[in-house]
Amino acid sequence: MGSLHHIKHLALTLLKTPTTTLRTPSDLKRLHVYLIKTHLHLTSSFAVGNLISRAASLGLLSHASTMFDQMPHPNVFVYNNLIRAFHLHHHPQNALLVFLRMNVVPDSFTFVATIKACVEDPAFFRMGASIHARSVRTGFDRDVPVATGLIEFYAARAGVDAARKVFDEMGSRDVVSWTTMLACYVNVSDDIASAREVFDTMPEKDVKAWGAMVGGYVKAGDMGRAREVFDEAPSRDLLMRNVMLGGYAKAGEVGELMRLFDGMRDRDVVSWNTVIGGLVQGERFNDAVAVFHRMQVENARPNRVTFVNVLSGCARVGALDVGRWIHSYIDRNGFVVDAVVGTALVDMYSKCGALESATHVFGRMARKDVAAWNSMIMGYSMNGRGEKSLEFFHAMRREGVEPNEVTMVGVLSSCAHAGMVEEGKRCFEMMQGELGIAPTTEHYGCVVDLLGRAGLLREAREFIQSMPVEPGTNVWGALLGACKIHKNVALAELAVEHLIKLGVDDGGSIEIDGAVHEFGVGEKAHERCREIYAMLREVAERLRRAGHVAETGEAFFDVEEEEKEMALSTHSERLAVAFGLIGLRKGEVIRVVKNLRVCVDCHAVIKLISKVFEREIVVRDRSRFHHFKEGRPAMQNLVKHSVFA
- Window 532 to 571, contacts with DNA (CB under 7 A): none
389 near DNA, judged by CB under 7 A:
no
Q: Return d(Cα 249, Cα 141) in angstroms, integer.
A: 40
DSSP summary character for residue 487: T
CA quadruple 412, 413, 418, 419: dihedral sign? positive
User: Helix 207-219 and helix 238-251: axis angle, to 10°?
Assistant: 10
Stretch that binds DNA, among 59-67, 154-162, 180-188, 468-476 (CB under 7 A): 180-188
With CB under 7 A, what is the number of residues at the site for DNA?
71
- Provide, rounded to whole angstroms, the least separation between the CB of residue 416 and DNA: 22
- Smallest distance, Å, CB 340 to DNA? 4
Q: Closest by alpha carbon to 322, among 466, 511, 174?
A: 511
C-beta of 307: minimal distance to DNA in Å? Answer: 9
Which residue in 99, 109, 292, 613 binds DNA (CB under 7 A)? 109
* Bridge partners (DSSP) listed for residue 594: 508
Nearer to DNA, 41 or 548 (CB): 41
Q: Between 358 and 480, whose beta carbon lies closer to DNA? A: 358
For 305-442, list the strands marked E by DSSP. Answer: none
121 binds DNA (CB under 7 A): no
List binders of DNA among 251-270 (CB under 7 A).
268-270
Specify burial of residue 231 (Cβ count, 10 A radius: 0-12, 13-18, 19+).
Answer: exposed
As a whole number of Å, the CA-based R_g of the chain is: 30
Residue with smaller CB distance to DNA, 29 or 208: 208
Which amino acid is located at 128 in the chain?
Answer: G
Among residues 36, 176, 300, 430, which is the contact residue for DNA, using CB under 7 A?
A: 176
Detail the DSSP E strand segments found in 271-412.
none
Contacting DNA (CB under 7 A), which of 36, 104, 188, 239? 239
Q: Point out which span in 3-11, 335-343, 393-401, 543-551 binds DNA (CB under 7 A).
A: 335-343
Does position 329 interact with DNA (CB under 7 A)? The reply is no
Report which residue type is found at 439: P
Q: Which is nearer to DNA, 270 or 454 (CB)?
A: 270
As a three-state string, the secondary structure of 378-394 is HHHHHCCCHHHHHHHHH
Given the complex with DNA, which of 269 and 567 has the nearer CB atom?
A: 269
For residue 570, the minimal CB distance to DNA (Å) is 33
Closest CA to 613 of 601, 591, 625, 628: 628
- Dist CA 245 CA 251 (whole Å): 10
The one among 208, 225, 324, 526 contacting DNA by CB under 7 A: 208
- Separation CA 29–CA 118 (nearest Å): 31
> Which one-letter amino acid corresponds to residue 305?
V
Q: Is 511 in the site for DNA (CB under 7 A)?
A: no
Q: Does 638 bind DNA (CB under 7 A)?
A: no
**Which position among 34, 68, 77, 167 is part of the footprint of DNA (CB under 7 A)?**
77
Nearer residue to DNA within complex by CB, 115 or 491: 115
Beta strands 508-512 and 590-594 are antiparallel
Q: Is residue 194 at the binding interface for DNA, with CB under 7 A as the rule?
A: no
Q: Choose, by CB under 7 A, the member of 74, 106, 211, 445 that binds DNA.
A: 211
Among 21, 55, 64, 80, binds DNA (CB under 7 A): 80
Of the pair 159, 419, the CB lying nearest DNA is at 159
- Which region, judged by CB under 7 A, interacts with DNA, from 80-88, 122-130, 591-599, 620-628? 80-88
Q: Site map for DNA, 123-152, x if CB under 7 A?
A: --------------------xxxx-xx--x
Does residue 246 touch DNA according to CB under 7 A?
Answer: yes
- Which residues, including other chains, have CB under 8 Å from residue 226's CB and lie 6 or more apart? 214, 217, 218, 244, 247
Closest among 444, 506, 432, 452 to 471, alpha carbons compared? 444
Which residues, in sequence order, are CB contacts of 605 under 8 Å at separation 6+? 539, 543, 548, 550, 574
Q: Cα separations (Å) of 368 from 201, 412, 566?
A: 48, 21, 49
For residues 337 and 499, which CB has a smaller minimum distance to DNA in the complex? 337
Closest CA to 584 of 564, 554, 605, 609: 609
**Nearer to DNA (CB atom), residue 337 or residue 491:** 337
CA distance 24 to 13: 15
Q: For residues 205 and 574, which CB has a smaller minimum distance to DNA in the complex?
A: 205
**Residue of 61, 183, 279, 322 that binds DNA (CB under 7 A):** 183
Touching DNA, residues 29-48 (CB under 7 A)? 45-46
Binding status of residue 92 toward DNA by CB under 7 A? no
Q: Please, what is the minimum distance in Å from the beta carbon of residue 221 to DNA? A: 13
Closer residue to DNA, CB minimum distance, 148 or 642: 148
- Please identify, using beta-carbon distances, which residue of 65 and 148 lies nearer to DNA: 148
Q: Which pairs with CB-CB distance under 8 Å and at least 24 residues apart come from 624-628? A: 624/381, 624/382, 624/383, 624/384, 624/413, 624/417, 625/353, 625/382, 625/383, 625/384, 626/384, 626/598, 627/353, 627/383, 627/384
Which residue lies nearer to DNA by CB, 343 or 572? 343
Strand order of the β-sheet with 508-512 is 515-519, 508-512, 590-594, 617-620, 625-629, 632-633
Greatest extent of the chain over all pairs of C-alpha atoms, in Å: 94
Which of 65, 94, 135, 242 is close enough to bind DNA by CB under 7 A? Answer: 242
Instruction: Please give the full DSSP string across 207-260, using - where no structure is assigned.
Output: HHHHHHHHHHHHHTT-HHHHHHHHHHSS---HHHHHHHHHHHHHHT-HHHHHHH
What's the closest the beta carbon of residue 107 comes to DNA, in angstroms?
6
Contact by Cβ (8 Å): 81, 109: no
Q: Which is nearer to DNA, 52 or 575 (CB)?
A: 52
Q: In the complex with DNA, which residue's Cβ is closer, 343 or 569?
A: 343
Q: Which stretch binds DNA (CB under 7 A): 31-39, 177-185, 411-419, 629-637?
A: 177-185
* Residue 277 binds to DNA (criterion: CB under 7 A): yes
Q: Which of 65, 114, 194, 312 binds DNA (CB under 7 A)?
A: 312
Choice from 237, 531, 554, 616 touching DNA (CB under 7 A) = 237
Minimum Å gap between C-beta 70 and DNA is 17
Task: Identify residues 53-72 at the interface with DNA (CB under 7 A).
Answer: 53
Min CB(426)–DNA separation in Å: 27
Question: For DNA, which stretch binds (CB under 7 A), given 242-250, 251-259, 542-550, 589-597?
Answer: 242-250
104 binds DNA (CB under 7 A): no
Of the candidate residues 344, 460, 483, 599, the single one contacting DNA (CB under 7 A):
344
Q: How far apart are CA 476 and CA 174, in angstroms?
A: 57
